[in-house]
């Protein structure tokens, strides 16, 4: 009897971990979409965080409290390098260059075999990401976005999303805001990636491609971006749903896709359509 | 009076079209300066050059003695420039009050981390900002709509909200692109009263308007553009009597209005 219960808890705990980590990824998406930008690089930043974290733990044996911030810093630096030139251009360039980043990194992970384990990836990563840590970080980040959202920074972000030209005329430093948002989102995704690596104990080069990027985007599309909690709820639904729909077997992917399409068509503001008040 | 804003040889070319062609204009500090001209004369383009939304093909702009030709819009806003748009550009999902508070962006100084931690300094600044925004809404007669969605305001109300939002940055120079467009005569009269009060707030006005009575009543000095060129400049009296101006407007509805304003 104990055996099936253990099995059940094992699956269940993985799901709870995944929910929290996907919540952080959804927030990283929110961070750029909240000011009207589109990045398809969240999965790539996540992968960078995952590989950085895993390597620091496995090869250097650094303590986890040090591994985590470095896992956020490395993607932040890459975001700085990419964002500098592309953010001055039309928004489409950011989306395209972030897709390219994902592909470049994938090839790098596969070919730097001695370091990254190549196509096999890295395994045996100690499971150091406790549920407390994951959900603690998620709660802090939601609260942080909430607080920032209710300040001149939040007003500037919403203004950019609604009318970038008018926001610029109001005195918002558009390039600075775009770059800041991209860097913050890269840090969050890197953090989530490192937490994922230290909870699944395995990472591979193909987990952070275009498909993962679209999945992260769909968290925000389904949940909405009116409040920071909205994309997190979107992530919860899209992560829990496949588990609940397991009996549907192959149809569950179709079902999942259908839900996203219906949400985008009929709920353009997402399933949590409320808007954060931005005045005291 | 010295010039708050000076344009020298300001030129904007869109492919073959010279939308603004070698225009020299000086806007005196403390004045109300009008820009008039037929549709397509280049008035809005001239405003876009001043506010930094367009980079001129050639020529230069100085604001308060400083060359701003290469500065992005936000930097000009910091230097005391504000504007409204001919095609209203609200942040429509935001409340009326939030729109005005967004206009205060350059004046609010509490750093991000103090917002993050909700420190007393940040809260005090936000409360003060709210109070000032309410004052501005009272000034333009929208205080009772403060918490409403700005996108749901009537047309004339949105125009007044844009003015309040622009004033929120405490500009020294305010550009108004056809502020009375779409307003009925009563609203237009109220607007004129409002704009006259701005002079007492030390705001210099540069405005584009088609309503000739409105322009003649309000402006100290008027520049006339036609096909991107400055064809006349002077006080309201000079402009009414300028033959090239009458010619530029000939046959248009504006000519009738100009004539009417002349007779009045
Ligand atoms: N972004 C643009 N690209 C190409 N042509 C433009 C652009 N903006 C304005 N124009 C053209 O420049 C001329 C002047 O336009 P505009 O400044 O809007 O005139 P006004 O405000 O005096 O009615 C018009 O012929 C218009 O079609
Ligand atoms: Mg115009």
Q: Where are the domains of chain B?
A: 3-89+169-263, 91-152
Q: Which helix (H) or strand (E) holds B222?
A: strand B221-226
Q: Which helix (H) or strand (E) holds B224?
A: strand B221-226
Separation of alpha carbons A185 and A94, rounded Å: 13
- Chain mean pLDDT for chain B: 92
Strands A122-123, B173-177: pairing kind:
unpaired
Separation of alpha carbons B183 and B99, rounded Å: 21
Query: What pLDDT digit, counting tens, does each position of B227-242 carry?
Result: 999 999 999 988 888 7
A151 vs B130: CB contact, 8 Å cut-off?
no
State phi, psi for B65 to the nearest 5 degrees: 85, -10
A232 contacts A27 by C-beta, under 8 angstroms: yes
How big, in percent rounded to 5, are the helix, strand and coil portions of chain B? Answer: 45, 25, 35
- Give contacts of B101 with chain A, Cβ < 8 Å: 152, 155, 278-279
Q: Confidence class of residue B262 from pLDDT cuts 50, 70 and 90? A: low
Q: Which atom of ligand 1 lies at the shortest distance from residue B12's CA?
A: 12
**Could you please report the per-residue DSSP string of chain A?**
-HHHHHHHHHHHHHHHHHHHHHHHHHHHHHHHHTTT---S-HHHHHHHHHHHHHHIIIII---HHHHHHHHHHHHHHHHHHHHHHHTTS-HHHHHHHHHHHHHHHHHHHHH-HHHH-GGG-EE-------HHHHHHHHHHHHHHHHHHHTSHHHHHHHHHHH-HHHHHHTT--HHHHHHHHHHHHHHHHHHHHHHHHHHHSEE-GGGGSHHHHHHHHHHHHHH-SSSTHHHHHHHHHHHHHHHHTGGGTTHHHHHHHHHHHHHHHH-TT-SS--------
Q: For residue B200, what pLDDT is reported?
A: 80
| Mean pLDDT, residues B136-154 | 96
Ranges of residues in chain A with a pLDDT under 50 are none
B105 vs A171: CB contact, 8 Å cut-off?
yes
Separation of alpha carbons A33 and A224, rounded Å: 10
B47 contacts B205 by C-beta, under 8 angstroms: no
- Name which residue sits closest to atom 12 of ligand 1, judged by CA: B19
In the predicted structure, residue B260 carries a pLDDT above the cut 90: no
Q: Is B41 in the pocket of ligand 1 (CB under 6 A)?
A: yes
Nearest to A148 among B102, B115, B129 (CB): B115
Q: Count CA atoms closer than 13 A to A174's CA, side-chain side.
A: 25
Sheet with B58-63: strands ordered across: B17-28, B3-14, B58-63, B66-67
Burial group, residue B30, by CB count within 10 angstroms (0-12, 13-18, 19+): middle
Q: For residue B254, what pLDDT is reported?
A: 63
Separation of alpha carbons A174 and B6, rounded Å: 26
Q: Which atom of ligand 1 lies at the shortest distance from residue B86's CA?
A: 21
A160 contacts A181 by C-beta, under 8 angstroms: no
State phi, psi for B62 to the nearest 5 degrees: -125, 140
Q: Count CA atoms closer than 13 A to B123's CA, side-chain side.
A: 4
Domains of chain A: 12-266 (1.10.3470)
- Residue A155: closest C-alpha in chain B: B102
Q: Is B44 in the pocket of ligand 1 (CB under 6 A)?
A: yes
Which of B188, B209, B245, B197 lies closest to B33, judged by CA? B209
Separation of alpha carbons A153 and A22, rounded Å: 25
Overall residue count recorded for chain A in this entry: 280
Closest ligand to C-alpha of residue B48 is 1
- Give contacts of B110 with chain A, Cβ < 8 Å: 151-152
Separation of alpha carbons A156 and A179, rounded Å: 14
- Give contacts of A171 with chain B, Cβ < 8 Å: 73-74, 77-78, 105-106, 169
State phi, psi for B20 to the nearest 5 degrees: -130, 125
Name which residue leads in pLDDT, B202 or A73: A73
Q: For residue B251, what pLDDT is reported?
A: 53
B53 vs A165: CB contact, 8 Å cut-off?
yes
CATH 3.40.50.170, domain B3-89+169-263, yes or no: no
**Could you please report the per-residue DSSP string of B52-99?**
TSS--SEEEEEETTEE-TT--HHHHHHTTEEE--SS----TTSBHHHH
- Name which residue sits closest to atom 24 of ligand 1, judged by CA: B40
Q: Which atom of ligand 1 lies at the shortest distance from residue B47's CA?
A: 17
CA B232 to centroid of chain Cα atoms: 21
Q: Confidence class of residue B199 from pLDDT cuts 50, 70 and 90? A: confident
Residue B203, sorted as left (phi over 0), alpha (psi -120 to 50) or beta, turns out to be: beta
B61 CB contacts (<8 Å, ≥6 apart)?
B5, B6, B7, B8, B10, B49, B50, B67, B68, B69
In the predicted structure, residue B264 carries a pLDDT above the cut 50: no
Question: Can you say whether the dihedral through the CA atoms of B118, B120, B121, B124 is positive or negative?
Answer: positive
Cα–ligand 2 centroid distance for B41 (angstroms): 8
B102 vs A159: CB contact, 8 Å cut-off?
yes
B85 vs A279: CB contact, 8 Å cut-off?
no
Q: For residue A39, what pLDDT is reported?
A: 86
| Mean pLDDT, residues B10-35 | 96
């Amino acid at each position: 009897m104990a055996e099936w219960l253990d099995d059940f808890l094992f699956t269940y705990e993985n799901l709870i971990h995944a929910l929290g980590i996907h919540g952080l990824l959804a927030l990283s998406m929110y961070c750029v979409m909240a000011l009207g930008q589109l990045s398809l690089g969240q999965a790539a930043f996540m992968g960078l965080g995952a590989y950085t974290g895993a390597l620091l733990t496995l090869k250097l044996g650094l303590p986890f409290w040090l591994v985590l911030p470095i896992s956020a810093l490395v993607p932040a630096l890459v975001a700085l390098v990419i964002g500098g030139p592309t953010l001055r251009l039309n928004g489409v360039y950011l989306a395209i260059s972030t897709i390219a980043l994902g592909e470049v990194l994938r090839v790098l992970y596969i070919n730097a075999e001695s370091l990254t384990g190549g196509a096999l990836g890295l395994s045996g990563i100690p499971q150091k990401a406790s549920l407390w840590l994951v959900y603690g970080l998620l709660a802090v980040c939601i609260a942080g976005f909430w607080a920032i959202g209710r300040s001149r920074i939040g007003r500037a972000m919403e203004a950019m999303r609604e009318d970038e030209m008018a926001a610029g005329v109001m005195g918002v430093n558009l390039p600075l805001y775009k770059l800041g948002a991209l860097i913050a989102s890269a840090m969050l995704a890197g953090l989530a990636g490192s937490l994922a690596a230290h909870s699944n104990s395995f990472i591979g080069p193909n987990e952070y491609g275009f498909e993962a990027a679209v999945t992260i985007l769909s968290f925000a599309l389904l949940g909405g971006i009116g409040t920071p909690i909205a994309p997190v709820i979107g992530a919860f639904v899209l992560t829990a749903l496949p588990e609940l729909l397991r009996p549907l077997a192959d149809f569950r992917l179709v079902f999942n896709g259908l839900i996203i399409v219906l949400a985008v068509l009929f709920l353009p503001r997402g399933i949590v359509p409320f808007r954060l008040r931005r005045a005291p | 009076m010295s010039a708050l804003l000076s344009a020298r040889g300001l030129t904007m070319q869109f492919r073959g079209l010279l939308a603004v062609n070698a225009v020299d204009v000086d806007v005196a500090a403390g004045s109300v300066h009008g820009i008039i001209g037929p549709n397509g004369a280049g008035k809005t383009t001239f405003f876009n050059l001043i506010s930094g939304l367009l980079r001129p093909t050639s020529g230069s702009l100085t604001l308060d003695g400083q060359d701003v030709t290469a500065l992005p819009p936000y930097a000009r806003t910091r230097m005391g420039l504000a504007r409204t748009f001919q095609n209203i550009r609200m942040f429509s999902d935001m409340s009326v009050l939030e729109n005005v508070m967004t206009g205060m962006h350059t004046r609010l100084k509490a750093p991000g981390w103090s917002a993050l931690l909700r420190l007393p300094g940040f809260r005090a600044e936000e409360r003060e900002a709210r109070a000032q925004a309410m004052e501005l809404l009272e000034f333009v007669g929208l205080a009772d709509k403060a918490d409403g969605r700005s996108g749901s305001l009537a047309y004339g109300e949105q125009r007044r909200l844009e003015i309040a939002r622009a004033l929120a940055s405490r500009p020294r120079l305010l550009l108004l692109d056809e502020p009375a467009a779409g307003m009925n005569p009563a609203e237009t009269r109220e607007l004129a009263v409002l704009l006259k009060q701005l002079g007492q707030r030390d705001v210099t006005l540069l405005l584009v308007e088609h309503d000739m009575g409105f322009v003649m009543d309000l402006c100290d000095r008027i520049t006339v553009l036609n096909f991107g060129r400055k064809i006349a400049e002077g006080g309201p009296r000079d402009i009414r009597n300028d033959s090239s101006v009458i010619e530029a407007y000939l046959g248009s509805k504006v000519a009738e209005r100009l004539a009417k304003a002349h007779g009045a």
